[in-house]
Structure formats: C-alpha cells, structure tokens
Structure 1
Amino acid sequence: MWSRRTVMVSAAASLALSNAAFAAPASVERWGVYEIALKGPQTGNPFDEVTLSAVFVSGARRVVVPGFYDGEGVYRVRFSPPETGGWSWATQSNIRALSGQTGRFEATAPTGQNHGPVRVTKDGYHFAYADGTPFRQIGTTCYAWAQQSDAKCAETLTTLSTSPFNKLRMCIFPNVTAESIDPFVRTGSGDRDWDAKRFDPAFFRRYEDRIRRLGALGIEADIILFHPYNKARGFSNMSRADDERYIRYVSARFSAYRNVWWAMGNEYDGIKTKVMDDWDHLFQVLQAADPHDRLRSIHNINVYYDHRKPWITHASFQNGSAVLDDARAQPYRNFAQKAVIFDEVCYEGNSVKRWGNLTGEQLVMRFWWGTIAGTYVGHSEAYSEPGRTDGSWLGQGGKLIGTSPPRLAFLKTILDTAPTPGIEPIETWYDKHMGGKPFEYYLRYFGAAEPTEWVFELPGRKDDPKNTYRVDIIDTWNMTITPVEGVFTMDIKDAYSFHDPKRPVVTLPGKKWIALRITRVTGKDGVWTNPDLD
C-alpha cells in the first residue's frame, strides 16, 4: 500500500499546480449545491489512496467537507451553504495537485420552492423545512425505481409529479430486478465478483441524477443504505472497513443535496451478519462523515432499534397494526421520544402476501389514525400488472393504480391548514380519538364506525378557555367537507370536559371514514384562521 501511494504522489507531483480547479460558480442559493471539481491522479486506487476535503469559511462559521473521486481523474467536493453571504474555501489533500486550491463564492437568498432541508421541529415530534415552513410527511416507498431504465424512471417521475407524496424511500442496492445493479467495479461474472474498494462512478452519477430530479419535484429522497434482500450479491454483508468506506463515499456524494435523508437499514434486523454494535458504529461513522447533518433513521422487521440514541433524528417503524387505532400508535412517540414515521404499515394491493393486500380504504384509515396520534404514515402499493417483474410500484415504480393516493392528497390539504408544528394526540388514554391543538383545533376520527351522531365534548378543566367553535364534517373517502350550520359555545360539563348545553350533539351521516374538524372561531368575521400560518 505504501509503495502504491508513493507512486501516486510522484505521478501527481509531475502534474504539480497545473491541475487548477475547473470553473466553479460565482454564486449559489442558500441550501443549493456548490461544487468544486479538480483534476487529479487516476492510477492506483484513488478511492482508497487519495484523501480530499475542503474547508468552507463564512465569518465565524467553518465547515469541513469531504470530497470524493468521480472517475476519469476527476475529484469533487460538494457543499450546501447553510447561510447567505460570502464563503471562501481551501482544499486539503495528500496529493499535491489537489491540495491548496482556493476560491470564493456568494450564497444568495433562496428562491421559489427552496425552503432548505427538512429538520425535526424544536418540540421533537414534527418536521419543518429550515426556513420554518411546515413539512407534513405523506411518504411512499419505491425501493429500486432509481435503478430501472431511463424510460421507467421517467414514468415514475411523471407519476410522482401529480401525486401527494413528498418523501420517497429508495434503496442504493437494488432489491428487485433492475437495469443498473453494480455500485462496485466488477471483477468477473459471478454474483460476488466485485471489488468493495472500488466504486463504479457511473452507477452513482445515475443515482444522484434521480435524487436531483426528486428534489426538483419537492420530494425528499429517503436513501436506504443497507437491506437484507441482496444475499446473492452480498452488498449488505461487507466487512466493517468496507461498510465504512461505502458510507463515507455516499455521504460525500449525496449529502449536499438538501432533499436527502438517510435510512441506515431497511428491515435492518434481517441482516444477520451485523449485530447492534455494528449498527451503532455505522451511525457514528455516518454522523461524522456528513457535514450537512441530514436526517437519520433505521427501519425494522421485528426488533425495534433504540431510537433514543443521539444519532437518530426520528423514528422509522414497520408495524401493520400500530395504526389501526390512535391509542396504539401514540405510545410509539413515548418510546422513541422523537418524531415517528410508520414507514411501513402493509401496502394497498392485490398481492397474495398478507403485507401487500390492503384495500385503499384500509390504507387511508391507517393514515388518519396515525395522524391524530401525532405520528406520520407511509404508503406503497403492490398491485400485479402484466410486464412488471416484481409486480408492484413498491419495487420498480412506474404508474400508481391504487385508490388511496387521491385520498392521501385530500388528507394533505387538511394538514396544510392545520396548526404548526403538527397534530398532537389529545387524551389518547381516554379514547377521545382526537388530535390537534387544545382549545384551538381538533380532528376527531371515527374510522370504520358509522355513527349517526356524536356527543360534542372537548377535554377541559374549569380554568381552561371555553371557546366557540365551528365544525366541519369530513368524508375522508369521498373527499368532501360539509360545514355544520352555526357555532358551538363551550361551557363546563364536568370536571374533565366542556360542551355546549344548547347543542349537545353533532348529527353525522352514518357512514364509514368520517372525521370532524373543530376549529375555534376567531377574528371579526367569525371565521377561524390559523394563527401559526398568519
């Protein structure tokens, strides 16, 4: 190794300082991607033998950003400026031609739909973009869409462009039939004939193109780093050193894109070659490697990871029954003490597998129960169609044919006008089946029940505000909102609740999938407005 490295340094010395940086932009938007490209050595193994980073400075702010080798003698450093203003940079490397390069650029104010990366809100249980705009997660899973043909990827993006989904879970290592399957350089024709020390830059260029295209649609890319479904290839069963190299490489390539999230594992406990200490270690490697501090989670089959660990930003759960009721879902927040996304709750579809045969009604119901529990829920579908080798959007993307997406789009319109930072569970222990913001805004969900009336009671103690409310009847399946005539003025009913003694009940349509939206009357015109959004 030492002799190879010496040869590389000697070769680089002959190039000396003639290897200036390629032209870099003079400015980039805050939270955009500023890229430095440098010409350097191609001999030996640049992935292992060349170190490169750049130090970015603006005032008292100093950020060290790792670089990566992109093949054909090109090295890159990508940085997403967290603040506006002037930034200077200088490179550091063990190769003379790559070290000591300098430059400056201006980070300008963001424009259009650039709200910055998504972060967890200060309360710890919800999400917002960096500029404070609420992020109401309506996610989907499409594992290997990014590795399909260009035509299939284009079809998936077209589908997403008119969908309600603002986050998409996607694997780096494909888990179903795909066109692009080799993240590492091939050394032969066998499944295990690849070199973990040498990445295939073309594979990763293709993948990051998909990340960028999702970003242009306003969709977060929840990138799955490992999963148990490539046993023949063995990508998730590498040595610790190879895992570390892989994590550092993908972080250097992808973390500057503001729509990137990290999912360390999908069904992580199905990977039997790793133990809990390995996962903890890899999270620490990722946290140290990512100067942009993107969101980080891990997804289970049966064994729940301890999401209270400091490198976890939010909890990702798989559980098909946890969102059959808000009282089942809400304790997961207590366990994690962080924002919760039920990324997998079984899927809408016609699969013979029990995890892929929900009706659209059953999936939408899970979203509503999860919502009023103060959590978030994920979608996918597993419908078989001719020509689909894995039989689903879940694996390869393409078109959505299920009945749930329009209803999830309708749910999103409800959430977009709800209080910030998000819906909070309200007296879950007492089966109120209600979430919102106490004394301001409530969602009451009835699920598959078909009541013809509801006794109008709101939780409250004697010293709590006794406000006046309007009520809307929401048909979550037929996507209608029907205002109830008049208002309800609260007074004390008992030690724990308020009611309107003149209007004790709300008449309901006796149908499934009904919700109520109860909003405090404010303003001179008697119409409720969201003070958090005004």
Structure 2
Amino acid sequence: MRFRVVVLAFLTLSLVRQAVAATPQWEVFELTLETAGPIKNPFVDADLTATFTHTASNRALTVDGFYDGESGGKQIFRVRFAPPEQGVWAYKTVSNITDLNAKSGRLEVTAPVSRGGLVRKQTLPRIFFREDGSPYYPVNFGLFPHPNNLGGADIGPTRKLDFPSEKVMMTFIDLLGDNGINMMMDIRVLFQRCDAINEPSFYPPFHVIDPEAWKIDRDRFNLAYFQRLDRELARAKEKGLFYTLQILTSQAVQKGEFTWRHSFYNVANGGWLEDKNGDGDGDDEDEYYNLNNADHVKYIKKMLRYTLARTAGYWNVMYRIGGDTRNPNSGRVIAPELAIKWFGHWRSFVRDVDPYDRPLTIGRA
C-alpha cells in the first residue's frame, strides 16, 4: 500500500511539473485562449489583460492581450509576455469575457538563448547595451521600405508603386542580417502616398474595406497586416536585427491633398479626422495635432495599445512615434511647442503601456 501511495504522489508531482510552461529569459511566451460564444466585435467588445508575478521577487508585470482571428469556429485571443527574470512566474488573466477571465498558470523561465533587448545605463545614457550587459554597436541600414528607393520623383499621382510583398521583405531582412547589419527602420507609413492598397498585408493597420479607394473600418484592425508583421519581427530577431517600427505617421504623410486623400485618418475613408480649415489636408493644429479631439485620441490609443500588445514582447523591437515636424520638404514647419506637446503625450502613453521600456524615438524632429 505504501508503494502505491508513493507512486501516486510521484505521478501527481510529475503532472504538476509538466503543466508548467518553460520559456528562455527575454523570449516570447504566448498564452492562447479561445471563446466558445461569438463576440460581435472582438477588437472593441473584449478587454483582456494578464498579470505575471515572479514567485520569488514578487515583481509583477501586466500586459494586454489581443484578438487574433478565428480558428475552428472559435475566436482566438493571445497574450504575449517576455520574462525579464529567470525563475517561476505565475500568471492570471482578467477579462470582461467569461471564457477569457481568471485563466491562470505558471511559467518557468530558463537560461537565456540570446543577449536580450536594448537598454541604457544612467551613467552612459548615449550608449546602448544588451540586457545581458554586453555593449551594442548599431550598424544601421536606415529607412526601408521607402517609396523613393528607386530614385526619381516623389511618389504621387503620376508615379505608381506596388507595396513590397512579404517575400521581398523577408529577403531584405535576410540580406541585412547575413551581412552584418543589425538595425533597420520600417517606415511603411509612407506608402500612404500610393493611390491604392495593392497589398493589405503590408499596410494599413486598420481593416481594409475597399483597397482601391483606401476605405477602412476604424473599429477593426487589419489582421493580415499584424500577422505578417509578427512574422517579419520574428525573422529579424532570428537574424539579430533590431527592427524600428513607426507606430504613428510622420508629419510629411499628413501634408498635401494627394496624401490626405489616402489617409486612414481621413473621415471620408472611414477614419475620424476632418479637414477643418479646408486646405486639402489634416495636418494643422486643430486637426492631427489636436489632443483635445476625444475621438482622435481614442482611436490612436486603441491602435497603439493593440500594436504594443502584439509586438512589445519581441526583444528586437524599437518604436518611432513620428517625426519630420520641422522638415522643410513637407512644405510646413510645425511650431516646436506644438510638437513637444504632441509627441510628449504619446511618448508618455507608450511608456505607460509598454512594460519592457523598449527604445522609443520621434526620429527627425
């Protein structure tokens, strides 16, 4: 009888240990959840967060979950977490959806398989280090994909350009990583200058209703875009390539009638901004840079939260929240106090949402 009890206890302990997930330090742990009943608009109607607590130090980090499409007739939600410490982390979800709420478990974080993301030391604020303490020396390609990479006149009504395919982007990432480049900046927002959306998986972040007319659904995100971005970030990470993602448009993208006609911000395209002063774009103080516009702030917050929920777990991601505010080529120079207020607001927001403090820049100001 005693032998049976010991065996039973051993089997029970083994099952408990098997139930604990294992992830290397700094890598992405992904929790997948599903709902049995349909949610009318899972991007809007479902709230999901998860708190991860280190069982030894009691350090706690809360991350947002996100909707990621349907599979087998069920709606799929995910939570991504990049553990900053080795040891055991306990997690628990909070959601207004019963099937997603109060899901708990434990995560065993093992030794790292990489050097982790970029951090700065207070004593050397102008130098980046990896999370393992080793120095980082950027070898930066610059901007890609850029509409003007082929040279010639700027893209506009007289110049057509196809969006880069996923194959092209992956080939480019491989080319950089295999030849000593360790940083790139993705500025696909500039392709808003194209006259049509000829590859929705490349851009924009909102669900595309009519690609020829740039019509979007502002209350749903473009899953093809974000799922492709996941794959590109993962590929870049494999190649040791830091990937700077522009998460807000630059000033130059909002300026000009042709560009504004294709902007997902434009209320005529399903967005939420109006050309209030009738100058043919939405780039003025009471338009794009207006923090008092409740709808404007609401939709940007939703877009940023969703983007960060999906991408912040990748240690190789960096964020750019716009730029070109004093770019004379755009035809207008934004007042410094206005730029400081606008970018300062969104810098603080991203810092509050991102639990890992990924590098953040406004690019050329």
Would you say same fold, with TM above 0.5?
yes
1:261-307 per-position Cα deviation (integer Å, ceiling 9, x unaligned): 1111142456989943332222222111111111111112xxx4xxx
Of structures 1 and 2, the one scoring higher in RCO (CA 8 A, sep 6+) is 2
Give the alignment of 1:72-221 within 5 angstroms.
Answer: 72=70, 73-111=75-113, 114-122=114-122, 123-144=124-145, 148-175=164-191, 179=199, 180-189=202-211, 191-221=213-243
Aligned match of 2:51:
55
Structure-2 separation of matches of 1:51 and 1:24 = 26
CA distance in 1: counterparts of 2:59 and 2:214, whole angstroms: 45
Question: Match for residue 21 of structure 2?
Answer: 26
> SS in structure 1 opposite 2:260?
coil
The 2-side partners of 1:25 and 1:168 are apart by 36
Give per-residue Cα distances to partners, 1:46-80, cap 9 Å, x unaligned: 11221100010113111111111112211111000
Sort the Cα spacing of 1:102 and 1:136 in 2 relative to 1 into closer, same or farther, 3 A. Answer: same
Name the CA distance, whole Å, in 1 between partners of 2:184 and 2:265: 21
Structure 2's unaligned 5+ residue stretches are 1-17, 147-162, 254-258, 267-272, 274-295
Q: For residues 352 and 38 of structure 2, what CA distance do their matches in structure 1 show? A: 27
CA contact (8 A) 2:188 2:203 kept: no
Is the CA contact 1:90–1:103 (under 8 Å) kept in the aligned structure 2? Answer: yes
- Deviation, 1:138, is 1.4
Which is worse superposed, 37-46 or 287-296?
37-46
Change (3 A) 1:235 1:189: closer
Q: Is the 8 A contact 2:34 2:77 kept in 1?
A: yes
Q: Measure the CA separation in 1 of the matches of 2:243 and 2:38.
A: 31
Question: By how many angstroms is 1:104 displaced?
Answer: 0.8
**TM-score in terms of structure 1 length:** 0.48
Output the amino acid matched with 1:224: Q
Map 1:360-509 → 2, pairs under 5 A: none
Give secondary structure in 1 for the equivalent of 2:79. strand
Are 2:120 and 2:127, in contact at CA under 8 Å, matched by a contact in 1?
Answer: yes
The number of equivalent residue pairs is 276
Distance verdict in 2 for CA 1:54–1:268, change over 3 Å = farther
Cα deviation code 1:25-46 (max 9, x no counterpart): 7100000000111112543221
Q: Is the 8 A contact 2:49 2:94 kept in 1?
A: yes
Matched-pair contact (CA < 8 Å) for 1:248–1:285? no
Deviations 1:221-263, CA, capped at 9 Å, x for gaps: 1111122335332146652211111111100000000001111
Residues 88-134 of structure 1: per-residue CA shift (max 9 Å, x gap): 100000111110001111100112xx001111233211011011111
1:126 maps to a residue whose letter is I
TM-score between both structures, scaled by the size of structure 2: 0.70
- SS in structure 2 opposite 1:135? coil
Deviation at 1:189, TM superposition (A): 4.8
Confirm or deny: 8 A CA contact 1:69 1:76 kept in the other structure. yes
3-state SS of the aligned residue for 1:173? helix
Q: Secondary structure at the match of 1:169?
A: strand
Change in CA separation of 1:241 and 1:127 when aligned onto 2, cut-off 3 Å = same
Shift in alpha-carbon separation, 1:149–1:106, aligned structure 2, 3 A: same
Rg larger for? 1
Q: Flag the 1:78–1:268 CA change in 2: closer, same or farther, 3 A.
A: farther
Which residue of structure 1 lines up, in the alignment, with residue 351 of structure 2?
Answer: 287
Structure 1 unaligned blocks of 5 or more: 1-22, 305-534
Asked if 1:278 corresponds to 2:307, the answer is: no
The answer to whether the aligner puts 1:297 opposite 2:361 as a matched pair is yes
Distance 1:80 1:150 in 2: 25
Instruction: Tell me the distance in 2 between the aligned counterparts of 1:199 and 1:269.
Output: 31
In the alignment, the residues of structure 1 paired with residue 129 and residue 314 of structure 2 have an alpha-carbon distance, to the nearest angstrom, of 17
Q: Secondary structure at the match of 1:119?
A: strand
Kindly indicate whether residue 308 of structure 2 is the aligned counterpart of residue 251 of structure 1: yes
State the Cα deviation string for residues 138-159 of structure 1 (Å, max 9, x = none): 11224338x6213312321331
Matched, 1:262 2:257: no
Q: One-letter code of the match for 2:21? A: A
Counterpart-to-counterpart distance in 2, 1:258 and 1:205: 17
- Counterpart AA for 2:241: I
8 Å contact 2:141–2:184 — kept in the other structure? yes
- Out of 57, 65, 68, the position equivalent to 1:67 is 65
Matched position secondary structure for 1:70: strand
SS at match of 2:99: helix
Picking from 20, 33, 42, the partner of 1:38 is: 33
CA RMSD for the aligned pairs?
2.5
Corresponding residue for residue 3 of structure 2: none
Distance 2:106 2:98 in 1: 20
1:236 to 1:119, Cα distance in 2 relative to 1, 3 A:
farther
**In 2, distance between residues paired with 1:205 and 1:236?**
22
Distance 1:137 1:24 in 2: 40
Whole-Å separation in 2 of the counterparts to 1:78 and 1:196: 24
Q: Are 2:68 and 2:223, in contact at CA under 8 Å, matched by a contact in 1?
A: yes
- Deviation per CA, 1:474-504: give whole Å up to 9, x if none: xxxxxxxxxxxxxxxxxxxxxxxxxxxxxxx
Change over 3 Å in CA distance of 1:99–1:186 after alignment to 2? same
> Given the superposition, is the C-alpha separation of residues 292 and 86 from structure 1 closer, same or farther in structure 2, using an over 3 Å criterion?
same
